[in-house]
Amino acid sequence: MLENLIRGAIPVSKYCDRTRLMDELARDFGECQVGIGLINKELIAEFMISEGEKTWTIIVTSSNGVSCIIAAGESWQPTLPDAAGTDSRLRTPE
């Protein structure tokens, strides 16, 4: 169970209702969704960061609305890919 996250914050069970989890991330950390990716037909990965990029959370949500926190931390650093056909390493925004 994920009783204590890396940043020692939201006490949640390993799996919980997505709406409840999103409400808690918004209320307790000011986090909102900034990205989403399809894992398969049943699962999506969701990426949340707080204003000022102080905290971040990655969750996986199933098609029935159950979510699980995969990772959480502090000091989010956005990166940008270089143009196609050039150096593929990521760089930080200017």
Q: For residue 91, tell me if it sits in a domain.
A: no
Q: For residue 54, tell me if it sits in a domain.
A: yes
Q: For residue 51, tell me if it sits in a domain.
A: yes
Which amino acid is residue 92, in one-letter code? Answer: T
Instruction: Please report the pLDDT score of residue 15 as a whole number.
Output: 79
What pTM was estimated for this model as a whole? 0.70
Q: Which domain holds residue 39?
A: 1-74
Q: Could you list the mean pLDDT of each consecutive 10-residue stretch along the chain, which spans 94 residues? A: 44 76 92 94 94 88 92 83 59 58
- Residue 31's DSSP bridge partners are 50
Instruction: Please report the pLDDT score of residue 7 as a whole number.
Output: 46
8-state DSSP, 51:
G
Q: For residue 93, tell me if it sits in a domain.
A: no
Instruction: Please report the pLDDT score of residue 57 as a whole number.
Output: 93
Instruction: Please report the pLDDT score of residue 43 as a whole number.
Output: 94
Whole-number Å distance between alpha carbons of 17 and 67 = 6
Domains contained in the chain, number: 1
Q: For residue 84, tell me if it sits in a domain.
A: no
Instruction: Please report the pLDDT score of residue 4 as a whole number.
Output: 44
Q: For residue 63, tell me if it sits in a domain.
A: yes
Whole-number Å distance between alpha carbons of 6 and 65 = 24
Q: For residue 80, tell me if it sits in a domain.
A: no
Q: For residue 25, tell me if it sits in a domain.
A: yes
